[in-house]
Structure formats: structure tokens, C-alpha cells
């Protein structure tokens, strides 16, 4: 039977394994063969009462492999300072105890903090760009004007005719989401479709268009993430859904007042004439 250490971890509970030494097999009594293994450990607790279990595999002819573990060996912790008279010159033994370094943890936490700070600044920049930050002023142009101009610019690039359908849907989806942000103050660019749909359902103006909006968003996700290629009729339908949403929810332009029954028409100014004479 041939034994092989199956210790794959470098840490077992409160122990660190510094190494495993395998010595050469040597004959023992009664025709047996002795195999000796040395395991170098470092304890990280002063309340331990036994060593950990060590796993081994035993290979026996004809190719049978079994796995077993050694029972824990009891131990007792004693302080080296208990009977020492002078302790000022005590030093830890070199080459046995490897002290833990906290620098990897500090570097990892610093990297996480920097990543979170960068993510927060990026979100704040996107909200400010979309006009959702209270510190920013109102946009110079209405959201529907910006969206319609962006659609015309997108169509002028002929992305669909060039076979760049995925890029077309990415930009059309961004135009739609920017319009929702600018018109209804919903952070659509920062939300997934599953997160955005419940927000849209709560808006009275968007509720009648909910089925059309959901069809567009679901179709866009299929094109952007599932490598789905729509045909020309589907592309035209999705473009129509975006335009329909903008046209139905854009604020109506104010109309000039028309003279009616309750609105007096303008009266031309009349210059005063000569004073009337009294007639006898």
C-alpha cells in the first residue's frame, strides 16, 4: 500500500500549513514498510487542544484507492514566558513562524473604495447630464425636441442599411431612455428593463402606451444582448413605438388666444373731436 498526502489547502481552521515533508520508505518489523510524513504547522489561536485531521490517499493493488484521515493529536499550549526570568531579549524563532501581512487586505479595500467612488461620480455625472440633478439648471431645449432631432440624425447614418442593426438599437434605446429622463425625471439610463418598466407604469401619461413601450424595450434587449436580428418590419415597428411615445407624451405647444364671445376684440383708438356747442 502506498500513502500519498491529500492536503490541498494551506489553511485548516486555526492552523496554517507551512509545508509537508515526505521521507523515504524504510522497512519495519514483520515485513512491513514504514512511511513517515512531517507536517509543519503554525497555530493562530492559544485555545487549541488538538491538531487538525490530515487527509491521505492509500493506493493498493490492483489500482484501488481509498481516502482516510488521521485522528487529531491532543496537545497542550504552554506559554514560553511562564517561567522566564528575563523576557526583554526574547525573539520569535526565524524561519518557522510566518507573520501575516495585512497589506493585501489594505490594498484590496483601497481598490474597492476607489471603484465605488468612481462609480458614484459616474452616476452623478450621468444624472447631471440628463438634467436629473437638482443642482443643474433646466435644459435649454425640451426633451421631445432633442429626441426627435436625435432620431433624424440616427436615421441619416443608415446603420440598418449597412448591417449595423445592433448599433442602431443601442442608440435608439439610448434616445428613448434619455427622453424618459428629460421628460419624466426617471433615471432610465441607470435602470435595467426589469427595473424601468414598473417606474413607467406609475406615470399616468405612459400607462396607455405601456404595452408598446414594453415591446420596444424587450425587443431592444434581444438585439443588444441575445444576438437577435430583427427584420425590416420589426425595425420599423420599434422605431414607430419610440416616435409614438414621444408624440403622445410631449407637452402640447401653447396656442395663441383667439377672439371669441368672452374675449373682446381690440378696439382702435379714437382721437377726441372738437367740443360740442350748445344750441339754444
pLDDT in tens, 50-94: 888 888 888 877 778 888 888 888 988 887 777 666 666 666 666
pLDDT digits (tens, 9 = 90+) for 215-272: 999 999 999 998 899 999 999 999 999 999 999 999 876 665 555 544 444 444 444 4
Angle at 222 between CA 219 and CA 228, to 5 degrees: 110
Report whether 48 contacts 75 (CB < 8 A): yes
Ranking 13-22, 33-42, 83-92 by mean pLDDT, the lowest is 83-92
Q: Are 177 and 221 in contact (CB under 8 A)?
A: no
CA distance 19 to 42: 10
pLDDT of residue 47: 84
- The whole-number pLDDT of residue 270 equals 42
CB atoms closer than 10 angstroms to residue 225: 10
Q: What's the confidence (pLDDT) of residue 7?
A: 78
Q: Taking residues 145-162, what's their average pLDDT?
A: 95
Q: Is the pLDDT of residue 131 over 60?
A: no
Q: What is the mean pLDDT of residues 21-27?
A: 81
The pLDDT of residue 135 is 45
pLDDT value at residue 259: 54
pLDDT at res. 246: 95
- Residue bearing cell 372738437: 274
Question: What whole-number distance in Å separates Cα of residue 52 and Cα of residue 237?
Answer: 67
Residues in the chain: 280
Position 1 pLDDT exceeds 60: yes
Buried b (16+ CB within 10 A) or exposed e, 14-50: ebbbeeeeeeeeeeeeeeeeebeeebeeebeeeebee
User: Do 22 and 83 form a contact (C-beta atoms < 8 A)?
Assistant: no
The CA distance from 107 to 99, in Å, is: 18
Mean per-residue pLDDT, 162-179: 95
153 — phi, psi (to 5°)?
-65, -40
The percentage of the chain sitting over the pLDDT mark of 70, rounded to a whole number, equals 78
Band of pLDDT at residue 275, cut at 50, 70 and 90? very low
Once rounded to an integer, what is the mean pLDDT over residues 4-33?
80
Give the number of other Cβ atoms within 10 Å of residue 78's Cβ. Answer: 8
**How many other β-carbons are positioned within 10 Å of the β-carbon of residue 80?**
9
- Provide the pLDDT for residue 265: 44
CA distance 179 to 148: 9
pLDDT score of 55: 86
User: What tens digit of pLDDT does each residue of 87-128 get?
Assistant: 666 666 665 555 566 788 889 999 999 999 998 888 777 666
Determine the Cα–Cα distance for residues 265 and 114; give it in Å rounded to an integer. Answer: 68
Amino acid at each position: 500500500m502506498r500513502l500519498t498526502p491529500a492536503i490541498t489547502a494551506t489553511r485548516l481552521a486555526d492552523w496554517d500549513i507551512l509545508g509537508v515533508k515526505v521521507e523515504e520508505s524504510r522497512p519495519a518489523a514483520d515485513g512491513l514498510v514504514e512511511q513517515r510524513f512531517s507536517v509543519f504547522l503554525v497555530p493562530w489561536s492559544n485555545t487549541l487542544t488538538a491538531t487538525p485531521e490530515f487527509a491521505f490517499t492509500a493506493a493498493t493493488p490492483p489500482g484501488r484507492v481509498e481516502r482516510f484521515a488521521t485522528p487529531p493529536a491532543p496537545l497542550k499550549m504552554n506559554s514560553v514566558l511562564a517561567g522566564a526570568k528575563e523576557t526583554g531579549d526574547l525573539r520569535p524563532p526565524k524561519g518557522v513562524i510566518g507573520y501575516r501581512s495585512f497589506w493585501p487586505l489594505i490594498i484590496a479595500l483601497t481598490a474597492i473604495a476607489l471603484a465605488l467612488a468612481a462609480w458614484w461620480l459616474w452616476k452623478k455625472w450621468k444624472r447631471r447630464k440628463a438634467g436629473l440633478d437638482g443642482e443643474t439648471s433646466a435644459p435649454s431645449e425640451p426633451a421631445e425636441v432633442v429626441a426627435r432631432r436625435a432620431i433624424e440624425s440616427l436615421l441619416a447614418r443608415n446603420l440598418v442599411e449597412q448591417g449595423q442593426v445592433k448599433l442602431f438599437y443601442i442608440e435608439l434605446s439610448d434616445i428613448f431612455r434619455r427622453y424618459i429622463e428629460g421628460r419624466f425625471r426617471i433615471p432610465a439610463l441607470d435602470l435595467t428593463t426589469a427595473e424601468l418598466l414598473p417606474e413607467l407604469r406609475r406615470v399616468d401619461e405612459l400607462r396607455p402606451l405601456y404595452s408598446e413601450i414594453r415591446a420596444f424595450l424587450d425587443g431592444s434587449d434581444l438585439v443588444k444582448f441575445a444576438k437577435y436580428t430583427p427584420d425590416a418590419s420589426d425595425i420599423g415597428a420599434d422605431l414607430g413605438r419610440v416616435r409614438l411615445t414621444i408624440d403622445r407624451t410631449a407637452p402640447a405647444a401653447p396656442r395663441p388666444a383667439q377672439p371669441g364671445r368672452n374675449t373682446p376684440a381690440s378696439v382702435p383708438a379714437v382721437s377726441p373731436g372738437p367740443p360740442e356747442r350748445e344750441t339754444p
